[in-house]
Structure 1
């Protein structure tokens, strides 16, 4: 079976745009589609490729279809639009941070057509999407992953094969659970230290030179919280969605996860307090509100 050459990329938002651009830079023929009017046209004008106005027609011409969308509900809707153009030996790669059970249901629905579904969510944010240095967590049939590895390599430097279909999405949700836990406990530590009289920026430096170091201390506290910018590029709404997926996996596997539940509830409370469209680093504002003080640069 020949290596993939043509790709239909559905969803060119904050992450999808640079990922699709990396594929064009690697020499793939890429057609792009997005639900936001004008975005695909803008991408073609600025980056290249062609606009896929008709999803089914574009799918018929592609070797691989990639979805990079906010939720599994959006993915299912896109797949419904693609369905008439899907054929035997097509590979659909869902790179969204979706729900494993939903992805498995989509795969079961497409299996009679001879279509293979893989999941391959990513970590690294927009900066690493731009440089092609994403960490990719892949799940699905090994032979299909072998076939699309050159496609994934154009977007990520590390490809972790996690297991069966849905395992990549489970891993991504659990990764974000660990990230949220580190963020929340770190913000509380900064608030405690500030009240004691320690500069939060100095605390961050000490944590980064000590065992308290984590991704939030390194890449979020000074950059987005102490600066009061709260603009890391990853939404609080998406964080709550990912934490909810992690808890769905916990329930499905029968694992008691009290701290995970607390992280999810605190994040959802921040979502309710702050309203939709907030950056996930604005989660710090909930901890500040509970403490009755604000962090100072």
Structure 2
């Protein structure tokens, strides 16, 4: 049996930490780097792995490199420059871009990686921090079938569903569109709960009815009671990141000349919420904007 490949993991944030921890548990040697050197050191102390001194050094020591970062611009910065990943990339190495990225930028980066004699695929995830911890993420994959089979054992440590979506960049497009659907479902569900509470219905009972009826969606199942009615607002995915993903989805709509009146309104409502609530908010806190507009609070906490 051949030895497992060494994995370079770039980005030990709220999602990256549990995902990298699963790879460590599965027996992969890890090279770790993060914008916060202290966080990378804490991971290696608590979980395992080796702290890389630079992105270039990480690449030089890795067969497969995973990036999971806030924006495509940050991914681009990590790849380029004298101490970037491309400067140390091993021939035939694979970069697995697991951020929620802009498809057109992802395709440009894939060309740059190919010029450096490597490969880049996009494999964004859905499921949030809870499923990142259990290894039950849904993973979308953009790239060739051969590259998928090469990295499948690694991806399978982090997710139970791996769905090919087409060429590189297609998975990032799918992720943005998935979050558009999720964001729309969240907002309409919150408005329904507010209508119901003002009418005299109990919001918790409403969620139970929705979850046994045709109004059920991911938000009714996994967010409303857990993070809104509880008053916790700590699902682990930032409001600013949701607005970014919705902007990506609207950009794809513009690029394809697709009319998006409902999607555009959805994005504007989320963006207005981010502006109203300020930085550092969880995406579930968008409910506070709807509550303010209605003059009604859903949580009794």
Q: Pick the TM interval, shorter chain.
A: over 0.9
Output the TM-score relative to the length of structure 1. 0.97
SS in 1 for 2:163: strand
> Which runs of structure 2 are paired with 1:93-108 in the superposition (5 Å)?
93-108=96-111
Indicate the residue corresponding to 2:279 in structure 1: 276
SS in 1 for 2:56: helix
Output the TM-score relative to the length of structure 2. 0.96
| Mapped pair 1:160 → 2:163 | yes
Deviates more, 1:105-114 or 1:233-242: 105-114
| Mapped pair 1:222 → 2:225 | yes
Please give the per-residue CA displacement for 1:111-170, whole angstroms capped at 9, x wherever unaligned: 222111100000111111111111100001221111111111111111001111111111
SS in 1 for 2:65: strand
Deviates more, 1:265-274 or 1:29-38: 29-38
Question: 1:87, CA displacement in angstroms?
Answer: 3.1
CA contact (8 A) 1:4 1:148 kept: no
CA contact (8 A) 1:4 1:64 kept: no
| Partner Cα distance (2:89, 2:272) in 1 | 41
- Unmatched tracts of structure 2, length 5 or more: none
> Which runs of structure 2 are paired with 1:95-134 in the superposition (5 Å)?
95-134=98-137
| Mapped pair 1:59 → 2:59 | yes
| Partner Cα distance (1:175, 1:92) in 2 | 23
Runs of 4+ in 1 over 4 A off after TM superposition: none
| Mapped pair 1:12 → 2:12 | yes
Question: 1:227, CA displacement in angstroms?
Answer: 1.2
| Partner Cα distance (1:4, 1:117) in 2 | 19
> Could you say what the CA RMSD is over the residues aligned between the two structures, in angstroms?
1.1
CA contact (8 A) 2:62 2:90 kept: no
| Partner Cα distance (1:96, 1:245) in 2 | 13
CA contact (8 A) 1:3 1:147 kept: no
| Partner Cα distance (1:3, 1:179) in 2 | 40
> Which runs of structure 2 are paired with 1:1-297 in the superposition (5 Å)?
5-80=5-80, 81-297=84-300
Question: 1:37, CA displacement in angstroms?
Answer: 2.8
- Unmatched tracts of structure 1, length 5 or more: none
| Partner Cα distance (1:266, 1:3) in 2 | 50
Please give the per-residue CA displacement for 1:222-268, whole angstroms capped at 9, x wherever unaligned: 11111111111111000000101111111111111111111100000
SS in 2 for 1:65: strand
Return closer, same or farther for 1:47/1:266 CA change in 2, 3 Å cut-off. Answer: same
